[in-house]
Amino acid sequence: MRSTPEGSTADRILAAAIRRFAEDGLDAPLRAIAADADVSAPLILHHFGSRAGLRAACDARVAAVTGEAKSAVLDPMTGVASFTDQASRVGGYAEIIGYVIRQLQAGDASTARLVDSLSATTLEYLEAGVAMGTVRPSLFPAERARVLVESSLGALLLGLPATGGHIDLARLPDQLDELYRRIAGPFLELYTQGLLTGPELLGAHLDSGTVPPPSPTQEDPDE
């Protein structure tokens, strides 16, 4: 799935912004984004108010694309087919991934907002998966969602570092394919089979008094 949608002027601006920010960094000129979207720079401000507003909208688009893709994979009726389709087109996410890398490199308040947004989206689709029976319930649903986001983002940042201040979106699809081949198996093994053979360490952690007791509304994941 590419980040470039067909639709309104605002959609075209968002697609152009995600691509330009990914290629040239978050300080890319609005006039360059406007040229890419075939609009005027003032029209960007008309739709989004400011550069900060444009970046916030880009963050929302990234979270929405991520949520849609993951929700499709967790659907018990279409999950395997969706997973196979997405796995065959990993490179199509190059613009989205490039933008995420730029946000992570920024290391500022906008980075934290993006991680928060992705974590909230992840919690939503995981809880939907729990309701559908494709995801195990958790004693720590929000924390689990954030850990999954942070581990995935860490893999991206370490596996696809930008060099020379520029991300080559022409090469990034091949780099994404290579990274996927390297990490997909271990991640899927952890997600589907787990790591440890027994619950002793989790029990010790829960008994240590360092964490709140499990919420009574959450099911025991070992039941």
Considering the entire predicted model, what is its pTM?
A: 0.81
Q: What CATH number corresponds to the domain at position 111?
A: 1.10.357.10
User: What's the pLDDT score for residue 77?
Assistant: 87
- 185 assigned to some structural domain: yes
Domain count, the chain: 1
- 182 assigned to some structural domain: yes
- 108 assigned to some structural domain: yes
Domain hosting residue 122, numbered range: 58-195
User: What's the pLDDT score for residue 91?
Assistant: 86
User: What's the pLDDT score for residue 107?
Assistant: 81
SS (H, E, C) the chain: CCCCCCCCHHHHHHHHHHHHHHHHCCCCCHHHHHHHHCCCHHHHHHHHCCHHHHHHHHHHHHHHHHHHHHHHHHCCCCHHHHHHHHHCCHHHHHHHHHHHHHHHHHCCHHHHHHHHHHHHHHHHHHHHHHHHCCCCCCCCHHHHHHHHHHHHHHHHHHHCCCECCECCCCCHHHHHHHHHHHHHHHHHHHHHHCCCCCCHHHHHHHHCCCCCCCCCCCCCCCC
Can you give the pLDDT of all 223 residues of the chain as single tens digits?
A: 334 344 688 999 999 999 999 988 888 999 999 999 999 999 999 999 999 899 999 999 999 999 999 999 999 988 999 989 888 888 888 999 999 988 888 888 888 988 999 999 999 999 999 999 999 999 999 999 999 999 999 998 888 766 556 788 888 899 899 999 999 999 999 999 999 999 999 999 888 877 765 555 444 444 4
